[in-house]
A and B are shown apart, each in its own frame.
Chain A
Amino acid sequence: MTEKILDARPVSVDLQETENNRALITAIEADNADLVINHFPGVVKLQAPGRLQINRESVEAQLGRTWETHEFQMAIITLSGNISEWDEDRIVISWGPRVEDDEEDED
């Protein structure tokens, strides 16, 4: 994706550290440069400067099965940042003004 990171305030997601989520974590790690990973008991905290993206295709490639982005709700414990986009292909967490995606493809 080509969006420039205008704001490097860290964003993060905390995920349950389970066997199910290992593929998800690997996919996020591969798709996000400068990711900082911290482990707490039962929790893995993924932190990135400005922007963090989760791609359906990358997660599916790691899992070896289809994955709906809604399934992310089963893994997430908490987040820091705005959910700037959430559609069938990707989830983007970032700070700053809202991404204007609503008008173009509603209905």
Chain B
Amino acid sequence: MTATTPNTAAPSPAAKTAKPKKLSMKARYSALTRDLDWEPTYVSEDEMYPHTKYEGIKIHDWSKWDDPFRLTVDAYYRYQAEKDKRLYSVLDGFAQGQGHLTLADASYLNAMKIFLGGVTPLEYQANRHFAYLARQFNGPGPRFAALCQSVDEMRHAQTEIHTLSNYNKFYTGFHNFLQQHDRVWYLSVTKSYFDDALSAGPFEFLIAIGFSFEYLLTNLLFVPFMSAASFNGDLPTMTFGFSAQSDESRHMTLGLEAIKFILEQDEANVPIVQEWVDKWFWRGYRVTGLVAAMLDYMLPRPVMSWKEAFELYFEQQMMGGLFPDLALYGIRPPKHVEQAIWEKEHLSHWLYDTLYQFSHAANFTTTVPDAEHLDWLSQAYPDTFDQEYRAKWEEMRTLDEEGKRFTFPGLPELCQICQVPMTFKVNHDSEHIAQFHSDHEGEHYNFCSEACKWIFDREPEKYRQAWLPVHQIYQGNCGGPTIPDVLAWYGYQEGDSGEFVGGVDDQNWQKWHHQIEDKLGKDA
């Protein structure tokens, strides 16, 4: 333990240029985190930390955990307070200046409705569970890192709710998001991811959230999407996004430190961690499908396609950069990664199609992409869009113009693991819908992919309990048998769902912008 190491260290080479200070950054970190730890005397270590052994992970020396950020409480609160100050001045200016009228289009906010119901409650879940880890880990280093992350996650939930509450004054679909998170069919995709992680052990949670979610998902979600928010006039979202993501860089580092620390401690940990990497890569990847649809279809001014974001943040940075490092510890790339790479050409098209067909039962509205948007998609997906997807949207437009806007007249079959409607195609065969099955104790379970089936077969006792919205509706647990019954149980209101064009948000948007034009005069 650092607390008992005698101070025999030579001055570091950097010392001659360092400013005179009371303690070096490393020494301060040590004094304010590690040195505050104590050995239990009234109880055994196992009694004090009862949850860190049952997963089979062996840790021999908790002091080997490193925090490269050298974060201490005083520095942490000073910089977090400054981040909040900057964010809230942007929020204030935007609200006072009627900034919502400067958005690219009201349809942009549909993406933020998905974000509020699908992501913000996860921040709160992360806050709760990192608080638990901050109590349960044996070492003071990981405990303190988990404590900071717990406070960060609370800040993220609060700033996201504050930011989006401004839109809730003017637009539909933002109210009641917590109830919706617990009940609405498509939000079960993100909810089940976190429920799965929360009901795992502490080390698996760290791989699920610290590694997979923070390292894989937040880059794909926060960076290109928040950049796009700025491009669509939503400065508050861009600001909370980047403010949150600046914490994520610390969280990613915690995730990475976690995985390396566990792997370095004992050879026996490697196969356990490998299975978690395999599982949580795929679970996380399936959740990012929502982001793919948001990036490619829900931004009036698109910035970066899903394919481009996936190539940059996943293939280049993770597969090209991170996984060669993990190979040194005996970790290979995730089991089903090759399928995800193939799907990058297709994923957003499949999922927006699903959101379009079911938006009459969602808290957002959708519409057929306009001609300019379809051209952008052709250019972003030169090998697949015109060949496989454009005709579908042109057909939808024709139906729309004939007054027959298409909605799916039934309920979709859901994958038992990822809970996404079974819309995915067979690997390397985009003509055929994928269907995988397992039988367990006389019950039949369906999956969207070989990977989801693999996850089920590994832990059938866990996933047989999945709360699948469609099954629950059929069992009579969701307000009643008809669509209006279910929508009432979700807490939906007029304008929350359906077609965007001609809907409540679209009509208000037109009205408010006409008022501005009237005041200015047409040629102003």
Footprint of B on A, CB under 8 Å?
9-12, 14, 16, 40-43, 57, 66, 69-71, 73-90, 95-98, 101-102, 104-107
In angstroms, Cα B296 to Cα A55, docked, is: 38
A73 touches B9 (CB 8 A): no
Asked whether any CB of chain A lies closer than 8 Å to the CB of B373, the reply is no
Is chain B's interface secondary structure helix, strand, loop, or mixed overall?
helix
B245 touches A9 (CB 8 A): no
Find A73's partner among B219, B250, B321 (CB 8 Å cutoff).
Answer: B250
B328 touches A97 (CB 8 A): yes
Interface 0/1 of B244-267, CB less than 8 Å to A: 011011101100100010000000
In angstroms, Cα B7 to Cα A96, docked, is: 29
A82 touches B256 (CB 8 A): yes
What's the A-B contact tally at a CB cutoff of 8 Å? 133
Q: Please name the 3 residue pairs, one residue from A and one from B, whose CB atoms are nearest each other, closest first.
A: A83-B68, A80-B317, A42-B230
A73 touches B5 (CB 8 A): no
Expressed in whole angstroms, the minimum distance between the Cβ of A87 and any Cβ of chain B is 5
A96 touches B325 (CB 8 A): yes
Beyond A77-B222, A105-B12, list 6 extra A-B contacts (CB 8 Å). Answer: A74-B83, A77-B223, A77-B242, A88-B21, A88-B25, A89-B17
Asked whether any CB of chain A lies closer than 8 Å to the CB of B427, the reply is no
Residues of A within 8 A of B245 (CB): 77-78
Known pairs A41-B230, A78-B245, A79-B252; A104 contacts B12 (CB<8 A): yes
Known pairs A95-B325, A96-B325; A88 contacts B223 (CB<8 A): no
Known pairs A40-B227, A88-B18; A78 contacts B12 (CB<8 A): no
B242 touches A42 (CB 8 A): yes
Known pairs A41-B231, A95-B321; A87 contacts B66 (CB<8 A): no
Of A10, A78, A85, the most chain B CB neighbours within 10 A belong to: A78
Find A83's partner among B222, B223, B253, B324 (CB 8 Å cutoff).
Answer: B253
Asked whether any CB of chain A lies closer than 8 Å to the CB of B520, the reply is no
Asked whether any CB of chain A lies closer than 8 Å to the CB of B170, the reply is no
Chain A to chain B contacts (Cβ below 8 Å), 9 pairs: A40-B304, A42-B227, A43-B242, A73-B249, A76-B249, A79-B252, A83-B69, A88-B18, A107-B27
A87 touches B69 (CB 8 A): no
B321 touches A11 (CB 8 A): yes
In angstroms, Cα B14 to Cα A90, docked, is: 9
Interface 0/1 of B345-359, CB less than 8 Å to A: 000000000000000
Residues of B within 8 A of A86 (CB): 25, 68-70
